[in-house]
Amino acid sequence: MPLVPEIDYGTPASRSDKLVTLTIDGREVTVPEGTSIMRASMEAGIEIPKLCATDMVDAFGSCRLCLVEIQGRAGMPASCTTPVAPGLVVSTQTSRLKDVRRGVMELYISDHPLDCLTCAANGDCELQDMAGAVGLRDVRYGYDGENHVRARNDGAINIKWQPKDESNPYFTFDASKCIVCSRCVRACEEVQGTFALTIEGRGFDSRVSAGQHEAFVASECVSCGACVQACPTATLTEKSVIEIGQPEHSVVTTCAYCGVGCSFKAEMRGEELVRMVPWKDGQANRGHSCVKGRFAYGYSTHRDRILNPMIREKISDPWREVTWEEAYAHVASEFRRIQYQYGRDSIGGITSSRCTNEETYLVQKLVRAGFGNNNVDTCARVCHSPTGYGLGQTFGTSAGTQNFDSVEQTDVVIVIGANPTDGHPVFASRLKKRLRQGAKLIVIDPRRIDLVKGPHVQASYHLPLRPGTNVAVVTALAHVIVTEGLYDEKFIRERCDWSEFEDWAGFVSEERHSPEAVETLTGVPAELVRGAARLFAKGGNGSIYYGLGVTEHSQGSTTVMAIANLAMATGNIGRPGVGVNPLRGQNNVQGSCDMGSFPHELPGYRHISDDATRETFEKLWGVKLNNEPGLRIPNMLDAAVEGTFKGIYIQGEDILQSDPDTKHVSAGLAAMECVVVQDLFLNETANYAHVFLPGSTFLEKDGTFTNAERRINRVRRVMTPRNGFADWEVTQKLAQAMGLAWNYSHPSEIMDEIAATTPSFALVSYDYLEKMGSVQWPCNEKHPEGSPIMHVDGFVRGKGKFIRTEYVATDEKTGPRFPLLLTTGRILSQYNVGAQTRRTDNVVWHDEDRLEIHPHDAEDRGIRDGDWVRLASRSGETTLHALITDRVSPGVVYTTFHHPDTQANVITTDFSDWATNCPEYKVTAVQVSPSNGPSDWQVEYDEQARRSRRIAGKLEAAE
Amino acid sequence: MSNDAKLVRMANQIATFFHSQPGEDGPMGVATHINKFWEPRMRRQFFDIVDNHGGAGLDPLVLEAAALVRRPPAEGSARQAPDA
C-alpha cells in the first residue's frame, strides 16, 4: 500500500467560470481565468521547479525558481505570480531558464547544511528534489563565509546561527535549515489566521520568528501544524518523524475529535502511526487541521489504556481481569436477572458520540431488540438535543442546513453561544479567512471570545449578554427586523406559512420585546442590538453559527426556534452562504442522533410510536418493538435513585464527569446493580462500574462518522485494536450472549442495514463512499449526490414554521448567597472530559481548569491572579485557581470542564431545557471566595476514584 | 429535589412554553409533548400526582392536558424480560 498521492499545484485553484486557452511547452492547455501559469502547467502534467509556492497559500514569487519564458514578453516572469492569458505561448525549460535556476539553487545550497543522509526530511525534502530537478552538480561559492548553518565559524561564535527550538511538544524549528521561503508565515496567516509567525530582519539577516523572537510554545502559535505542513525542508518537522522516520504508506480517515470532522491521512510505517496530515481533498477541512487532530493522538497507545475485560461484584472491590467470554456471559446473565427481578424496563444503554455510526446503531439495536425497551440515549442529550427539537419544529429536520464550504460565500455571520477558535478550530480558520475578505461578524456571547477581536478580524458587534437571556436578545433582534420592515417578504410568502408569520411578527413587534425594553434584563445596550439586527438583515448573505451556549439552557429549544425564525424572516435559508448551523461538539454527535440513539425515535428521526417505521425494523430484526418512548439520561438517573432502573450499558461516554450535578449522577450510578462501561480508560464513570469492557480507538476500526454538516466520512482501520476487538464487535458478542442472532462480519454490512431501513441514507454504502469520498445526507434517489445545502426548493416540513419565542427567566437566579453567574466552555487544546487529550502533550497548554473572573469581582473578594478559590453553588462546591481577566463581564465567571480533579459539574444544577431535558450547564448561580486548596469533597472524590481503580494483581494505576 | 417535584417542574416548564403560543391548542400541545417524550413510568408518576394528590403544584394548563395524556399500561405488565 503506497502513500495517498497528493499533487501540489503550486497555487490555489481559480473559481472563475471563464476558460482561457494557452500553449505550454507546445501543449494546448485550457484552465479557468485567473489560474497561474504554474498551476496550468501542473494540471497539464508539466512540473515547473518551485520552492516558495504551494497550493495551500497564495503565490508569493520570492524563490525565483519557477521562472518561465513567454513569447513576446521580456524577461523571465515567475510562473506562480503570472496569470494565464488567451494565446500565451509558454516555455518552461530553455537553456536560459536552466542556467538561472541552477544559479538560484547554488545560492540556496551555499547556506544550507549538507547532512541530507541524517536529516529528518530525507525522502520528503523539496529542496533536495529541486536540486535534483535543476541538475545542481556543484556549488561554486563554497560553504565558508557568512552562514546560518554552523554554530561556530573558525572557532568564533556565529551570531547568525540559532539553536533548534524544541519548545513545542510536537514539532521542532531548526533555523539552520530554513530557506526563508515564507511558506510557514503565509500558512499561519492565510490558512490558520493566527499571524503568529513573521520574517524578522532583512536580506541575508531575514529569518522566521515566532511572535517577537519567542520560543514557539511561548508565542501566540496555536500548534495547528499548518506551518509544518507548508515547510519544504526539515526546518519545521514533526518530532514523530524525527523519531521514527518517513512513512511508507498512508490511509485516509476521519478525526475523532470535534464535530468539524476533518479528513486526515494517517501516515504509517507498518502499524506505527508516524503522523496525521490533513487531507487536501477533505471536504470539511480542505487540508487544514488543529492541534488536537494533527498531533494529539498519543492517547491511543497510552499506558493507561485498559486492554483486558474486568469484573467486580461491588464497586468497592478491586477489579478482576477476566476473559471476554466470562465478561459477556456475566453481563448477559446480570441484565437478564435484573429484568426478571425488576422488570423489562429496568435496564438501558447509552450510545457514544465518539464511536462510529455503525457502533451507535448496534447499541440502540441491542437496547430495542435485545433489552426489549427504548431506554437508549446519547450524549447529545446534554448538548444538541434542543437543536433536534427546535429545527425539527421550524424546518422539519434535525440538522444544520449548510456545508462548511458555505462560509466562503457568507457576508454577515452571527456567532452565538459558540467559541469556534477553541471548540471548532478548523471551521474558525475558514470563517476568519472569509472575515479577512470583508464579511461582517456579530458575536453574541457573555465572554469576549477570541473572534471578537483578533489579528485582522474584528466583530462589528459584540453583544455581551447576561447568561440565560438568549431568547430575549434574539427576539429583540427580530423585533428590530420586523418593526423596521427589514424582513424578506418575498421569501416568507413563498416558503413559509404567512399567517404564522403574521402572528409571530405581531408577537415580536410588541414593545416589551424591543431592545430598549429588554436592556435591563440582558445587559446589552439597545443600540448594539439595533445595529446588529440592521446589519444582519441587510448585509447580504446572512448565516448563523451556534453552539452549546444556545442549547444548554432551560430555554435551549426556544432559542433554537428563535434562531430559525430569524433566518426565515431574513430569507437566509436554502442557498450557499446562509443558513442555520449548529456546531456539533463531538465527532459523531450528529451521527449518533441520526442512528436512533434517542429514546423516542428510530434511525432517521422517526418516532417510535409510528407503526410503519417500527414494522420496517420488526421485520428485519425479527422482534416486536416497544412503541413507548424510553428514558432519557437524566430520567434514567432519576429512576435509578428511585429504584426502578438497575442496569446500564455505557459505550464511550463518561457521564459522571460530563453530566451536570455530579452528586446526583453518582447517586444514580451507585444505586444500580450492573453498570457496564466500555471505554479506552478507567474513566470517572467506571468508578461506579461492575464490568469494564476495553474499547478501541478510531485508528483501530472501520466505520463512518457524520460531522456537523451531515457529512458521512469514512473511518479506516490503520492498526490492530490493542484490546483485540473493535467496539462494534464487542457489542455484537454481547448481543449474541443475550441470545440475539447477529452475524455482521464487517461494519459495511451494518451500514447496508442502515441504508435499507432509513430513507435519508438509502444510497449510502461503503462502495459509494469509496467512489464519492463522502456524502451529506439525505443521500437517496432524490439526492443521489447527497445534500450540501438543505431546504433548497422548500422546507423539509413543507412550509417553514414561525414560532413565538417568549423569554422566560431561568429558575436559577442569583441572590445574596450566590451573586455571580457561572458559565462553562472548552479550550482549544483539550477535548470534552479530557480523557484523550489529558493523555497527550496537549497538557502543556492547559494542565488545569481555571476560573475566569472579572477584576472587579476579584478585587471585591480579595482574590489575586492564580489564587486558589472556592466555587460554590446550591448543588455543591469545588476549588480551582483563579484567572483574572476582563474577557468575562462583571458578575459572570467562567471555567472549563476538562479535568476530573476540578469536577466543574459538581457545581452545575439539575435545571434543564423544557423540551428535551438538556441540562442548563451555561447558567449557575455561584459564589466565589478565597480558599486554601482542594475542598473536602475533592479530596474524598480523589480517594474514592483511586480506590475504585485498583486492579487485583497490579500496581495502582497512575492517574 | 424529589422526583415528584422534578416532574412537576418539567411539566410546568412545558406548559409555560405552550402558554405563550397562540390559539386554543395549549392542552393538546402539552399532552402531545408528554406523550412523545415521557417514558411510561414518568407518565404513571404524573397520573399519580394528578389522580391521588390533586395535581398539587401543576400548572392549570397541565391539568387540562392530563385528559389528553396517554395512560401507560399498568405497571405489572412491564415486569418481564422480553423473551419471557
Residue A732, class by beta-carbon neighbours within 10 Å (0-12 exposed, 13-18 middle, 19+ buried)?
A: buried
Q: Quick one: pLDDT at residue B1?
A: 61
| C-alpha of A517 from chain center | 37
Query: Which of B6, B17, B81 comes nearest A344 by C-beta?
Result: B81
Query: Which of A554, A644, A914 comes nearest B41 by C-beta?
Result: A644
Q: How many domains would you assign to chain B?
A: 1
Does residue A957 surpass a pLDDT of 80? no
In a domain, A633, yes or no: yes
Question: What is the DSSP-derived secondary structure letter of residue A187?
Answer: I
Counting Cα atoms < 13 Å in the Cβ hemisphere of A515 gives 21
Q: Quickly state the pLDDT bin for B76 (edges 50, 70, 90).
A: low
pTM: 0.94
Q: Quick one: pLDDT at residue B81?
A: 45
A850-853 vs A877-884, strand pairing mode: parallel
Q: Specify the CATH number for the domain of residue A471.
A: 3.40.228.10
Both A576 and A598 in a single domain?
no
Euclidean distance between CA atoms A486 and A929, whole angstroms: 48
The stretch A750-774 carries a mean pLDDT of: 96
In a domain, A271, yes or no: yes
Region of residue A517 (left: phi > 0; alpha: psi -120 to 50; beta: else): alpha
B21, A804: Cβ pair inside 8 Å?
yes
Euclidean distance between CA atoms A603 and A761, whole angstroms: 10
Quick one: cell of A91?
516555455
Quick one: cell of A758?
432509513
Euclidean distance between CA atoms A668 and A903, whole angstroms: 17
Answer whether A471 touches B (CB < 8 Å): no
Both A698 and A753 in a single domain?
yes
Confirm if A700 and A359 have CB atoms less than 8 A apart.
Answer: no
Q: How many domains would you assign to chain A?
A: 5
The stretch A368-378 carries a mean pLDDT of: 96
CA dihedral over A687, A688, A693, A695, signed as positive or negative: negative
Contacts of A605 in chain B (CB under 8 A): none
Both A424 and A511 in a single domain?
yes
Both A249 and A316 in a single domain?
no
Q: Quick one: pLDDT at residue A55?
A: 96
Nearest chain B residue to A346 by CA distance is B79
In a domain, B34, yes or no: yes
Q: Specify the CATH number for the domain of residue A903.
A: 2.40.40.20
In a domain, A717, yes or no: yes
User: Pick from A301, A325, A352: which residue ends a domain?
Assistant: A301
Q: Which residues 6+ apart lie within 8 Å of B23 measured at CB?
A: none
Both A479 and A607 in a single domain?
no
Query: Which of B19, B75, B82 comes nearest A372 by C-beta?
Result: B82
Answer whether A641 touches B (CB < 8 Å): yes
The stretch A895-909 carries a mean pLDDT of: 84
Q: Quickly state the pLDDT bin for B79 (edges 50, 70, 90).
A: very low
Give per-residue pLDDT as tens, A779-834.
Answer: 999 999 999 999 999 999 999 999 999 999 988 889 999 999 999 888 888 888 88
Both A319 and A435 in a single domain?
no
In a domain, B17, yes or no: yes
User: Pick from A549, A580, A611: which residue ends a domain?
Assistant: A580
Both A655 and A741 in a single domain?
yes
In a domain, A536, yes or no: yes
In a domain, B82, yes or no: no
Beta bridge partners of A850: A881
User: Pick from A83, A102, A133: which residue ends a domain?
Assistant: A133
A808, B16: Cβ pair inside 8 Å?
yes
Nearest chain B residue to A808 by CA distance is B16
Contacts of B14 in chain A (CB under 8 A): 914-915
Contacts of B33 in chain A (CB under 8 A): 915
Both A47 and A168 in a single domain?
no
Q: Specify the CATH number for the domain of residue A653.
A: 3.40.50.740
In a domain, A801, yes or no: no
Both A929 and A829 in a single domain?
yes
Helical segments of A773-867, H only: 855-860
In a domain, B78, yes or no: no
In a domain, B77, yes or no: no
> What range does the domain containing B62 cover?
3-71
In a domain, A627, yes or no: yes
Both A509 and A631 in a single domain?
no
Both A412 and A532 in a single domain?
yes
Nearest chain A residue to B5 by CA distance is A638
Both A604 and A731 in a single domain?
yes
In a domain, A956, yes or no: no
> What range does the domain containing A421 cover?
393-580
Contacts of B42 in chain A (CB under 8 A): 631, 635
In a domain, B49, yes or no: yes
Q: Which of residues 502-531 of A touch B (CB under 8 A)?
A: 503, 507
Euclidean distance between CA atoms A48 and A38, whole angstroms: 7
Q: Quick one: pLDDT at residue B84?
A: 36
The stretch A71-93 carries a mean pLDDT of: 96
In a domain, A907, yes or no: yes
In a domain, B18, yes or no: yes
Does residue A254 surpass a pLDDT of 70? yes
The stretch A396-424 carries a mean pLDDT of: 95
In this predicted structure, which of A214-228, A653-667, A799-813, B3-17 has the lowest mean pLDDT?
A: A653-667
Query: Which of A343, A638, A806 comes nearest B3 by C-beta?
Result: A638
Give per-residue pLDDT as tens, A206-239.
Answer: 999 999 999 999 999 999 999 999 999 999 999 9
Query: Which of A370, A373, A914 comes nearest B17 by C-beta?
Result: A914
Q: Quickly state the pLDDT bin for A533 (edges 50, 70, 90).
A: very high
Angle between helices A470-483 and A526-538 (to 10 degrees): 60
- Helix H or strand E segment including B14: helix B3-19
Q: Which residues 6+ apart lie within 8 Å of A425 measured at CB?
A: A222, A224, A258, A260, A290, A291, A292, A828
Give per-residue pLDDT as tens, A305-314.
Answer: 999 999 999 9
